[in-house]
Amino acid sequence: MTVRLDRRQFLATGAAAAAYLGTAGFGRADDIKLRMAWWGGQVRAQLTTKALQVYTQAHPGTSVDTEYLGWDDYWPRLSTETAGGNSPDVLQMDIEYLADYASRGVLLDLTPYVPSKLAVSDFDQPVLDNGKVDGKLYAISAGVNAVSLLYNATAYEEAGVTPPGHSTTWDEFAQNAAEFTKKTKRPGMYGSTDESGAEPVLETWLRQRGKQLYGTDGKLGYDESDVTDWFKMWADMRASGASPPADVQALDHGDVDTSLIAQGRSVLCFENSNEYIAFAGLIKGELAMAPYPKVGASGKGGLYIKPSQFFSVSSQSKLPDASVALVNFLLTDPAATAILGTERGIPSSAATRDKLRPKLDKAGALMLDYISSLGDLAGPLPPPNPPGGGEVTTALLKASQAVAFGASSPADSAASYISTAKDILSRAS
């Protein structure tokens, strides 16, 4: 019984789809139903819904069904839906997964829509390029950020230690951190976290030494000796008390709530600048921002201004033109950008930034000013991560934990990490 229904339903669905596809070309102005999915918390949900209401009121006959979730749950659902052929029309995308999705043909190529349907010509070019895979544009930046040190300025004052600034070197950083751990009266608080397993910090450090995470050929842009030096640097910081021991650091799972700064175990964290608001609410003290430490006093900053997230359109969408129009609205229409503000990051268009600056609150202004203050600490954007990049990120964390927990020496762990990473990349391509 179920089998018969299956076939009949399938045929019915197929017929309906064919009929729809046939008429889609005529662009029916009535009953356009779009689906949009994004990840984020309550604030983003409220702002985005508000912006979408402006759109639907301006375009009667169009409605947008929203599907939003937290980051962890967004991806399993998106990949399941996409695998099943039921991807949402407009979706939020991240650099971590962009190559995986784009290279497998499930994102719509947006290149033909620029600039007539996607008015992004005044977006910062490097940032636009970051949304390209194999030369084609698959994702448009919804906001930029840069890596930053978020630190508890109040705690530094209490302890009488200099906080990090725009020209701090790694050596100075390590020294100050060890000093902080000794001097602070806040129980169990360290002057730094242990970032030996964090890919963004490794990436910045590599760039300061003239290397990078991935080359344009999709292969690793660094080698064993780099990783050995990296692991050794952090081992020294653990020994001096600048960074916490392995079992304290392992409490941090990379989420806001598990972060050591939120738990009061560290005075700072290495984060993306647009996460300022999330952290500011959770600490006891005033939160301030500074760039990552540098390798040498006159050395490169190693940072870069990057899209915090993108908007993409699904290649499975039956309404590509309407979907692109919606994306265009959200990113370039003054009404939308005023509502969405800096919640997804600093707007990539200089014009939008200027319009927004006077209206921003203290936190928003701080983030925007931080990006502007970087100057030439920020360099060119790196090549995109190849497929399998996410798995390599996990491998780095595990390798660093092996060193931190004393299961392996820096050199051994570095060697096994590099060979694992190469294996992952070849498996994924």
Partner 1 sequence: MLETAARPTSELELGDIGRRKNPTRGLMTHAVLVIGSLITLYPLLWMLSASFKPQNEMFANDSLIPSHVTFDGYTSGWHGLSVGFDTFFMNSLVISALSILGNLIACSLTAFAFARLQFVGRRVLFGIMLLTMMLPFHVTLIPQYVLFFKLGWVNTILPLVVPKFLASDAFFIFLMVQFFRSIPFEIQESAMIDGCNPLQIYRHIIMPLSLPVMATAAIFTFIFTWSDFFGPLVYLSDVRKYTVALGLTTFVDSTGQSNWNGVFAMSCLALVPVFLLFVFFQRYLIEGIATSGLKR
Partner 2 sequence: MQSLEGTLAQRFRKSGAGYAFLTPWVIGLVGLTLGPTLVSLYLSFTQFNLFQPPKWIGAANYVRIATNDPAFMASMGVTFVYVLFSVPLKLGFALALAMLLNRGIRGLPIYRAIFYLPSLLGSSVAIAILWRELFAGNGLINGVLANFGIQGPSWISNPHYALWTLVVLSVWQFGSPMVIFLAGLRQIPTDLYEAASIDGASNARKFFSITLPLLTPVVFFNFIVQMIDAFQSFTPAFIVSSGTGGPLNSTLFYALYIYQEAFSFFHMGYAAALAWILLVLIAVFTAIAFLTSRFWVYYDA
The site for partner 2 (CB under 8 A) is made up of 1-3, 6, 72, 75-76, 79-80, 82-83, 100-101, 104-106, 187-188, 246-251, 253-255, 257-258, 263, 387-388, 390-391, 394, 397-398, 401-402, 405, 407, 427-428
We find the least distance from the C-beta atom of residue 40 to partner 1, in angstroms, to be 5
Find which of partner 1, partner 2, none residue 165 binds, CB within 5 to 8 Å per kind. Answer: none
Instruction: List Cα–Cα distances, 89 to 69, 97, 107, 312, in angstroms.
Output: 16, 17, 10, 9
Question: What does 101 bind: partner 1, partner 2, none (CB cut-off 5 to 8 Å by kind)?
Answer: partner 2
Q: For binding to partner 1 (CB under 8 A), which residues are involved?
A: 5-6, 9-10, 12-13, 35, 37, 39-46, 49, 65-73, 76-77, 80-81, 83-86, 88, 254-257, 262-264, 274-275, 277-278, 281-284
Measured from the CB atom, the residue of 22 and 85 that comes closer to partner 1 is: 85
Q: Are 188 and 265 in contact (CB under 8 A)?
A: yes
Pick what 427 binds: partner 2, partner 1, none; C-beta below 5 to 8 Å, kind-dependent. Answer: partner 2
253 or 362: whose CB is closer to partner 2?
A: 253
Q: Which CB sits closer to partner 1, 6 or 361? A: 6
Considering the complex, state which of residue 185 and residue 253 has its C-beta at the smaller distance from partner 2.
253
Quote the least distance from Cβ 357 to partner 1, whole Å: 22
CB of 125 to partner 1, least distance (A): 26
Residue 248: name its binding partner from partner 2, partner 1, none (Cβ under 5 to 8 Å by kind).
Answer: partner 2
- Choose the contact partner of 18 out of partner 2, partner 1, none; CB within 5 to 8 A by kind: none
Output the smallest distance, CB 59 to partner 1, in A: 19
